[in-house]
Amino acid sequence: MSKETGAQGRSKPARGRHDVATLAQRVSGLDAERYFDAQAQIEYRGALDRWPVLARLMNLAQASPEQHTPAVAETEDERADRMLR
C-alpha cells in the first residue's frame, strides 16, 4: 500500500467487453468472435424498458401511442380529427 495515496501497488486488470471475451482471455483456444453473448442484448432491452423517455430522446425507441402526450395544446380541428379516427 502506498503511504501517499493509500492505494495498493497493483491494480486489477481490465475486464473484457463481456463474459465471453473475459473467458477467452483466460482459456487458450477459445475464440470469442465465434460466440454470441446474449447478456449485452438483454441488458440493452432492459435499459430501454427502465428508461423509456431517455431511449426516445436518444432515438433508440419509438414512442408507443399510449405514451404519447402532445407537447403543445391541440387545436379544436386536431382534436376532432383524432376523435374521428
10 vs 58, more confident: 58
Q: Which residues fall within 8 angstroms of residue 47, CB to CB, at 6 or more apart?
A: 55
The model's pLDDT over 33-77, given as tens digits with 9 standing for 90+, comes to: 887 767 778 899 999 999 999 999 998 888 766 555 545 566 777
Interatomic CA distance for residues 80 and 44, integer angstroms: 39
Q: Where do the structural domains in the chain lie, given as residue ranges?
A: 38-64
Q: Which residues fall within 8 angstroms of residue 24, CB to CB, at 6 or more apart?
A: 16, 30, 31, 32
